[in-house]
Structure 1
Amino acid sequence: MGKRILVLGGYGTFGRRISRAIAAIPSAECIVGGRHPQRATPVTGENITTITVNIHDPASLRLALEGMFAVVNTVGPFQTGDYTVAEACAIRGIHYVDLADARAHVENITRLNRRAEQRQCLIVSGASSVPAVSAALVDMLAPEFDRISEIHTCISPGNRNPHGLASVRAILSYTGNPIRLKEKGRWRYAYGWSEAEKVKFPRPVGKRRVYLCDVPDLDLFPARYGAQTVTFRAGLELNLFNYGLAMLGRMRRRGLTKNLSAWAPALSAASNLFRGSGGAAGGMRVRVLGRKDDREAEHTVFLMARDANGPAIPCSPSVALIRRWIERGVAAPGAVPCVGLLTWDDIKAELVNYDITLVRV
């Protein structure tokens, strides 16, 4: 029997990929958990079993965690800052990783640090495109600088990529709300899904509009790299939805609507009507500016997904961590954001089977 890994929400958009990848790891046994295990039929297979678990029911969660080596939590959105599963793992000495990209949730995971250290387990939040992949790419570029002054990251997925209701709710959570970001050494406030920019991605993606988003990088990168300006933007392939979100943001700012989350089901359904439009290709860009040998320096990398396997990118950090924990153990216990735990080579190893390439310009 291998080490038992519980994937919560393992039949969702990201959970299916993660479950299959973990099941393929030698010495791992993957257990898919959720409230509706019948939905896991497309996931089940060799080395994958299913259990029923309600993470909001203490008895159900306690039973599900028995005998587990680690837990991967894909059940979003994480904007509510609920640490129920992470804390339950810390109490029992079970390693934990989630795919949160919510700024406060990822940063405040450190509140569980003392308990995790006492129980000799590692609790990790943010094993997703941000901050895990974005930080790994900045770390890769960092040796090219004596000092980093600016970091600008953006993401634009292809319209034909699968996306869940949780992703729509996550975007709406900050659309039109004030977000705090560092610019030229000073903190300022802007609004979510505003201040659009056009970014030219390598072919076949081309130009995309991207908008300010609230992510953990905005706090973590100034502290980690000493950057005086840090931005993060995201955009959808179809400008119809970009403009629609921008309009909703303006409505929220003017007090015309308060609960944008209520729009999530309708927006998700509308996006499905246009699923045949656009393409599958998408990309992530990390642009770093600073100084090297007393000269200004700038380096940019693009992580390009040329087909519908773009979701493999946010899934890769959690799989890489599980693989490392199983094969090499955990170096040090604690509760931390997923920054500095993985190198680009670690993440790249989980993407080799997909048409995903790194482009340096």
Structure 2
Amino acid sequence: MNKKILIIGGYGNVGRIIATELGKRFPRQVIVAGRNYQKAKEFSLELGQQVIPMALDISHISANEKSLDDVGIVMMCLDLESIEFVRLCIQRRIHYIDISASYSILSQIEKLNKEAEVARATVILSVGLAPGLTNLLTKHCQSKVPGMTYADIYILLGMGDIHGDAALQWTLENLSGEFTIRDNEGTKQVKSFEDSKQTVFPGKSGKRTAYRFNFSDQHVLPQTLDLKSVSTRLCFDSAWMTSLLAVMKKTGVSRLLTLNGVEGLLVSLLKRLHFGSAEFVVKVDGGNLLGKGALYECSLWGEVEGRVTGLVAAKVAEKLVLSSYPAGVFHIEQLFTLHEFLENLGQHGLKFEEKECVTA
């Protein structure tokens, strides 16, 4: 490995997992970067200096462009406000990996495909749990259902898990949102935390009601897998919290969460109050719209959502180091299959289940 892996936001919740995994695999070839050099340094010391600390503010990258001189892969663990830094990486033929769940930024990066092809840089998006494993599960279902036309994605998150500020803020901001999705031959507007649907999760979670939420996989998969309809729904391991949020959305109270000061206060409160478990489940039902129900379903479940996002991202980076991939902008399911990750995830306690469904 001649060049280094730069993890921006490398001492955050997910970045720490990525850095730990890659630091063991490529010691002293991984750079942990962010605005706070002291945090980066302290984390480096925790890892026995297997990773290199760096102070880097990507909002002023022109003043720090030399920081990229010895970098072969950039991993973005922060929410971007623009795609100019991604464009800079491409221009310098630096491969780029992004764990963002926001389609607003991912859709902008998609438009850099031609530039990436010309520069011979590989850009990989939708890397994590959702999007990420949800994309790969959907692709796996499609391999089992010839002519599959739709996928219903369900995500259950544990209220007892430790979520970063950015993840909590993103969830609250999207609670009252509307978004456009592809439905059969056209498009339609849907609202977050409405359009509920019941499903049975594996393990101890059982039957739950989940609600539409603006995860990017439902925007991406109709394009990359040529599906007519994809929906993503969210619920929490705490059934009463899920119901409370649905009521808040229905009554309009959820709009108050976006007011100045209220969102920050609630994020701080949620970080302190841990009730429920750290378990998560992602499940995909796949079928044909001409049928009466799902034809195949598969699920992955385990504990600590951020840890799994980090494990998936680290594995993608490792593959990018060790193998050649085409130039351009891709989502994870366009370059990889689910089985390339299952063994590693199984070693970290994740369980996988798949089965053919009996339709009515």
DSSP 3-state at the match of 1:69: strand
* Paired position in structure 2 for 1:125: 125
Alignment CA distance shift 1:332-1:63 (3 Å) = same
**Alignment correspondent of 1:54:** 57
Deviations 1:27-86 (A, max 9, x none): 77111000113223245424211000111112344132121011100012x5x4x21321
Tell me how far 1:212 sits from its aligned partner.
0.8
Counterpart of 1:348 in structure 2 is: 342
| 1:1-361 alignment runs, 5 A limit | 3-26=3-26, 29-40=29-40, 41-42=42-43, 44=45, 45-46=47-48, 47-76=50-79, 78=80, 80=81, 82-246=82-246, 249-250=249-250, 257=256, 259=258, 262-275=261-274, 277-290=275-288, 298-305=295-302, 307=303, 309-329=304-324, 331-361=325-355
Rate the CA distance shift 1:267–1:238 in 2: closer, same or farther, 3 A. farther
1:303 is displaced (CA, Å) by 0.4
Q: Distance in 1 between matches of 2:269 and 2:228?
A: 39
Deviation (angstroms), 1:208: 3.7
- Pair 1:69–1:28, CA change in 2 (3 A): farther
Residues 144-186 of structure 1: CA deviation (Å, up to 9, x unaligned): 2221122001111222221011011212332222112233444
8 Å contact from structure 1 (residues 211, 234) kept in 2: yes
Supply the AA of the counterpart residue of 2:328: G
Give the drift of 1:112. 1.6
Deviates more, 1:99-108 or 1:88-97: 99-108
Letter in 1 for 2:141: L
Structure 1 residue 318: Cα displacement: 2.1
One-letter identity of the residue aligned with 1:343: T
Partner Cα separation in structure 2 for residue 220 and residue 108 of structure 1: 12
CA displacement at 1:269 relative to structure 2: 2.0
Structure 1 pair 288/185, CA: closer, same or farther in 2 (3 Å)?
Answer: same
Q: SS where residue 70 of structure 1 aligns? A: strand
Deviates more, 1:155-164 or 1:34-43: 34-43
Partner of 2:58, secondary structure, is coil
Deviation at 1:216, TM superposition (A): 2.4
Any gaps of 5 or more consecutive residues in structure 2?
Answer: 356-360
CA deviations on 1:292-342 (whole Å, 9 max, x unpaired) are 9x997611111010x3x332332233222211121113x211123333112
Residues 1:146 and 1:193: Cα distance change in structure 2 (over 3 Å): same
Tell me the amino acid that sits aligned with residue 347 of structure 1.
F
| C-alpha RMSD of the superposition | 2.7
Rounded Cα–Cα distance in structure 1 between residues aligned with 2:336 and 2:259: 35
What secondary structure sits across from 1:117 in the alignment?
A: helix
Instruction: Give the alignment's TM-score, normalised by structure 2.
Output: 0.87
Which stretches of structure 1, 4 residues or more, deviate above 4 A after TM superposition? 250-254, 294-297
Measured against aligned partners, the alpha-carbon deviations of 1:273-299 in whole angstroms (never above 9, x if no partner) come to 431x2112221111101289x997611
Sequence identity percentage: 18
Alpha-carbon distance in 2 for matches of 1:60, 1:352: 43
State the shift of 1:244 in Å: 4.8
Normalised TM-score (structure 1): 0.87
Contact 2:73 2:95 in 1 (8 A): yes
Instruction: State whether residues 17 and 311 of structure 2, in contact with CA within 8 Å, keep that contact through their aligned partners in structure 1.
Output: no
Which is richer in helix?
A: 2
Matched residues in 2 for 1:228 and 1:202: separation?
26
Q: What number of residue pairs does the alignment pair up?
A: 352
Partners of 1:55 and 1:85 within 8 A in 2: yes
Distance, in Å, in 1 between the alignment partners of 2:260 and 2:234 is 18
Kindly tell me: are residues 84 and 258 of structure 1, through their superposed partners in 2, closer, same or farther at Cα, counting changes over 3 Å?
A: farther
Letter in 2 for 1:332: P
Contact 2:21–2:311 at 8 Å: present in 1 too? no
Conserved in 2, the CA contact under 8 Å of 1:168 and 1:264?
no
Q: Look up the equivalent residue of 2:268 and give its one-letter code.
A: A
Contact 1:205 1:281 survives alignment (8 Å) = no
Q: 1:42 to 1:70 in 2, by over 3 A?
A: same
**Which range moves more in the overlay, 153-162 or 182-191?**
182-191
SS at match of 1:15: helix
